Amino acid sequence: MTEEFKLNEVVPVKEKYGKEELKLITLELASYYGRRFGGNAEKRLKEDVQKTASSGGGKKLFARLKWNEGLTTLYNSILVEQRKSRSLILDLTQAVIVDRYSLNEPFAYATIVKEQSGQLRYMVTEAPLSTEEKRRLEEIRELMIDELDVDVKRLGSDKTIEEYLRKLVGSIVKNYKIKIGEESLKKIIYYLIRDFVYFDKIDPLMRDPRIEDISCNGSTLPLYVWHREYESIPTNVVFETPEELDKFIVKLTYMTGRAISIAQPVVDASLPDQSRIQLTYEKEVTRKGSSFTIRKFRERPLTITELMIFNTISPEMAAWFWYIIEKQASMLVVGGTACGKTTTVNMLSMFIKPTAKIVSIEDTAELQLPHENWLPSVVRTGFGVSGKIAEITLFDLLKNAMRQRPEYIIVGEVRGGEAYTLVQAIATGHGGLATLHADSVEASIHRLESEPMNIPRPLITTIDVIAVQIRVRLGEKSVRRISSVCEIVGLDPATKDILTNDIFKWDPKADSYTYYGRSYVLEKIMRRHGISYEEAARELNNRRLVLEWMMRENIRDYKDVVEVIRSYYLNPTELLNKIKAGT
Ligand SMILES: Nc1ncnc2c1ncn2[C@@H]1O[C@H](COP(=O)(O)OP(=O)(O)OP(=O)(O)O)[C@@H](O)[C@H]1O
Ligand SMILES: [Mg+2]
């Protein structure tokens, strides 16, 4: 696009403009049309304004729309097109397609392209609509809103709502005698359902199982995704105006059952599919305006086999964890944001004896355990003006959990007063597992000791193990590693310092794990249960054999892994014989 033919953004794009702004827009549009169409400019401009205005619907609806609205839409749509072509299409003529797969056959696809600059980009391509089809879509959308006489969310599952809307659109087309081809109607229904029932323009991204998170840092900026293969890449999905983004944020929040507003501008919640979502509203807390991050839910959690295949953990370490978890050891998995703490805790919990009573406590439901005797609980934030109505906190849940006499208590993430209660629970003989945001053992201890957790040192020593997890670059790839496993041995009687013992460490050069040979936790378990050293060594070795066998046989699916662990608990000899026989 040459500068000559560029429409200048004299007023920042938004949905409605004031009188003065409209004057400026009119002048700018007139001059832009003048440059493009010379003598015909005035006529063309008039036509385009009318055309744009009438795209809101048929004749009946056009009467309602005003000239100014047409002007606004025209101005906005030219700018949006310009932005798109500047940031994407120009580059794309030189782009190479790296990968392409379907997201919602036959309407939405993902295409990964490498732009000339070397930048990878995730392109969502959806069934294109002609101008005529776009007009029909808007017309049917309006009629649909008019005709909707039920709160669709009450109809039940998404599939039921989808069916209901399909029928409704069918009857609208018939009753209003809308002339439309079968193929066009299919596309239009795709968009209506995408917007009404699902996730609007991010729906294709939500359907891609290879995407881990989706983040939007503000309007006019491309959404970023974390892709399992291509890692953090920008997409071609953009919220064009602050208004469009705000509207979308309100809609997303509605889907979580919460409310977002200027008074309550930050929301951390779960979507109906259990994806975790964080939202900020307008410019209250984030400078670039509303924003959101979605951590997509994995239907099947990562298993120990997968974590070993990725080399997040070694079979030797896994065997050690398995054994001490069976014996109710307590531990913290610590690390930075999104390094995989919750995933590791979930994976470790699968080692808990199948019959054990487990209570879990989370801010948002993330854990998935196979145990029948598992009681999951999730906090409820207060509602009402003061936010004080019936709020149920981690602390409340934990106090309640203690009464259930669980063998294991799992806390999704400790950050406040509930940490004290958890450690007390551990001190009185419960097993405990939790994640904590901290990047080293020292930092974790420091956090536990200071506000708002305030745990006294002697209590901290009742935690058996701190595992530090990291996300690092290794060559071309970003990987997740349990970089060190450290035992808390006790207090130095003289200095009152916390004594720790490194037991496993990751060596970044060789990308392998070193075992330091002496485990105090294991020794404590042996003492407590009267187990001999040989017996313990044999157990560790047997479990390592089972784990390595699972890796060799590629037994990685959640259900299968759970089954293997269960059968080991039931009859270890039988399983080991089977493995030795190579079947
Ligand atoms: N070892 C791993 N290898 C590859 N991907 C992983 C691994 N662990 C977790 N993931 C993926 O990384 C993402 C973040 O994982 P997870 O929620 O466990 O991290 P977290 O540290 O608990 O994050 P937060 O700080 O937000 O609580 C998820 O999409 C998950 O599937
Ligand atoms: Mg987490």
Question: How much is the pLDDT for 349?
Answer: 97
Question: How much is the pLDDT for 64?
Answer: 44
Write the DSSP assignment of 137-206 as a string of letters. Answer: HHHHHHHHHHH--S-GGGG-SHHHHHHHHHHHHHHHHHHTT----HHHHHHHHHHHHHHHTS-GGGHHHH
Q: What is the pLDDT of residues 12-28, one digit of tens each?
A: 888 888 888 898 899 88
Ligand 1 pocket residue status of 471, Cβ below 6 Å: no
Name the burial class of residue 550, with classes exposed (0-12), middle (13-18) and buried (19+) by CB atoms within 10 angstroms of its CB: buried
* In the predicted structure, residue 178 carries a pLDDT above the cut 70: yes
Name the burial class of residue 384, with classes exposed (0-12), middle (13-18) and buried (19+) by CB atoms within 10 angstroms of its CB: exposed
Ligand 2 centre and the CA of 341: distance in Å? 5
Please tell me the distance from the alpha carbon of residue 569 to that of residue 552, in angstroms, as a whole number. 21
How many C-beta neighbours within 10 Å does residue 453 have? 19
* In the predicted structure, residue 86 carries a pLDDT above the cut 60: no
Residue 398 — pLDDT band, cuts 50, 70, 90? confident
Instruction: Give me the mean pLDDT over the 86-94 stretch.
Output: 57
Please tell me the distance from the alpha carbon of residue 519 to that of residue 541, in angstroms, as a whole number. 15
Instruction: Give me the mean pLDDT over the 384-391 stretch.
Output: 55
**Higher pLDDT pick, 55 / 245:** 245
Ligand 2 centre and the CA of 255: distance in Å? 21
Q: Which atom of ligand 1 is nearest to the CA of 437?
A: 25
Residue 551 — pLDDT band, cuts 50, 70, 90? very high
What residues pair up with 124 in beta bridges, in sequence order?
Answer: 110
Domain ranges, ordered by start, for the chain: 3-91, 304-522
Question: How much is the pLDDT for 90?
Answer: 46
Q: Which atom of ligand 1 is nearest to the CA of 343?
A: 18
- On whether the CB atoms of residues 542 and 327 are closer than 8 A, the answer is no
Instruction: Give me the mean pLDDT over the 35-46 stretch.
Output: 86
* In the predicted structure, residue 257 carries a pLDDT above the cut 70: yes
The number of C-alpha atoms within 13 Å of 537 and in the hemisphere containing its C-beta is 5
Phi, psi (5° rounding) for residue 110?
A: -110, 135
What residues pair up with 229 in beta bridges, in sequence order?
Answer: none
Name the burial class of residue 94, with classes exposed (0-12), middle (13-18) and buried (19+) by CB atoms within 10 angstroms of its CB: exposed
Ligand 1 pocket residue status of 339, Cβ below 6 Å: yes
Instruction: Give me the mean pLDDT over the 46-64 stretch.
Output: 63
Ligand 1 pocket residue status of 542, Cβ below 6 Å: no
Ligand 1 centre and the CA of 299: distance in Å? 14
Instruction: Give me the mean pLDDT over the 81-99 stretch.
Output: 68
Residue 381 — pLDDT band, cuts 50, 70, 90? low
Instruction: Give me the mean pLDDT over the 337-344 stretch.
Output: 95
What residues pair up with 507 in beta bridges, in sequence order?
Answer: 512
- On whether the CB atoms of residues 305 and 327 are closer than 8 A, the answer is no
Ligand 1 centre and the CA of 510: distance in Å? 23
What CATH number does the domain located at 304-522 have?
3.40.50.300
Ligand 2 centre and the CA of 412: distance in Å? 7
Ligand 1 pocket residue status of 301, Cβ below 6 Å: no
* In the predicted structure, residue 334 carries a pLDDT above the cut 90: yes
Question: How much is the pLDDT for 79?
Answer: 84
Q: Which atom of ligand 1 is nearest to the CA of 312?
A: 1
Instruction: Give me the mean pLDDT over the 117-143 stretch.
Output: 91
Q: Which of 343, 363, 480, 511 to mutate to test the pocket of ligand 1 (most atoms within 8 A of CB)?
A: 343
Residue 84 — pLDDT band, cuts 50, 70, 90? low
Tell me which ligand sits closest to the C-alpha of residue 411: 2
Phi, psi (5° rounding) for residue 189?
A: -65, -40
What is the residue with the minimal CA distance to atom 7 of ligand 1? Answer: 340
Ligand 2 centre and the CA of 290: distance in Å? 23
* In the predicted structure, residue 63 carries a pLDDT above the cut 50: no
